[in-house]
Amino acid sequence: MALSGTLLLCLLQAAASQLVPRGPRPIPEIDCPIRVYFTIDTSETIALQESPPGQLFESIREFTKIFAQRLDEENYRGQIRITWTIGGLHYSQTQEVFSAFTTKTNFIRSLSRINYLGKGTYTDCALKNMTYHMTQQYHDTKVVRFSVVITDGHVTGNPCGGIKVMADKAREEGIQIFSVAASRVIDELGMREIASSPTDVYRDDFIAVDIVNGRPTIMTSTIDQIIKTMGEPGPMGDPGLTVSTFKH
């Protein structure tokens, strides 16, 4: 694959650390730690969007599980070792952290225990909370930070200052945000306010669940594209997996 911005950043940071007054030394294998934080809307508009109530939530949870499963450690050309730690919260008017940063196995185990919260949607507060958990106790400048926000873009209030204000603060902390539509029923303006710049990279019509041949389908193509953008190639090819695939 071509050297992505993430890998290039890791390479430049490592090269800079090797510079000494007598000149550069050979660069050893470089660690490229990537932190990914899932911020998942489980409010009433998500819970009631498909029948039976909660069906879309179940699909989003499966989407997140598959996403985490595909975050594999990789060595890039014997030079850069990519490692992942994953955390997450889900939200409505309140936020619940269901996983601190951990391995994908532990993350998936914690993810399986969440239920939708219902009620209204305060996405700005969720972004504020996400930023706090991504930055507290983690000041290593080598760490690359991404958040994957899964929502429909609709809000019922902005008690934390509004989506754009909180998204900008996250970016000021070095967090790049991917904005993923839960389904096709969305407020696109809200989705674009969440996404980092350029929006054609961090929004790019990403969708977690679509209706294909009358059935809800997990859009694995979204997962692959986001992972590729983060810096690791995902398994390309299949456009999606039907929800029924994971029930047998």
Amino acid at 111: L
Residue 131 near residue 176, CB atoms below 8 Å? no
The count of structural domains within the chain is: 1
Q: Would 6 be classed as within a structural domain?
A: no
Lowest-pLDDT range, 89-93, 136-140, 196-200, 237-241? 237-241
Is 238 exposed, middle or buried (CB count within 10 Å of its CB: 0-12, 13-18, 19+)? exposed
Helix segments in the chain, DSSP class H: 5-17, 44-47, 55-69, 104-111, 123-135, 163-172, 188-194, 199-202, 220-230
Q: Would 183 be classed as within a structural domain?
A: yes
pLDDT for 23 beyond 60:
no
Q: Would 52 be classed as within a structural domain?
A: yes
- Tell me the C-alpha distance between 1 and 8, whole Å: 12
- Tell me the C-alpha distance between 83 and 35, whole Å: 8
User: What is the residue-averaged pLDDT of the chain?
Assistant: 85
pLDDT for 227 beyond 50:
yes
| CATH number, domain with residue 168 | 3.40.50.410
Structure tokens at 244: 């029924």
Can you give the pLDDT at residue 167? 97
Q: Would 172 be classed as within a structural domain?
A: yes
Q: Would 222 be classed as within a structural domain?
A: yes
pLDDT for 59 beyond 60:
yes
Can you give the pLDDT at residue 53? 84
- Tell me the C-alpha distance between 47 and 237, whole Å: 30
Can you give the pLDDT at residue 2? 39
Q: For the chain, give the percent of residues with pLDDT over 90.
A: 65
Q: Would 101 be classed as within a structural domain?
A: yes
pLDDT in tens, 109-146: 999 999 999 999 999 999 999 999 999 866 666 789 99
* Residue where the block lists tokens 């699909």: 59
Q: Would 18 be classed as within a structural domain?
A: no
Q: Would 53 be classed as within a structural domain?
A: yes
Amino acid at 154: H
Structure tokens at 191: 């989705």
Lowest-pLDDT range, 25-34, 94-103, 202-211? 25-34
Amino acid at 49: Q
pLDDT for 244 beyond 90:
no
Q: For the chain, give the percent of residues with pLDDT over 70.
A: 79
Can you give the pLDDT at residue 141? 61
User: Which domain, by its residues, includes 71?
Assistant: 29-231
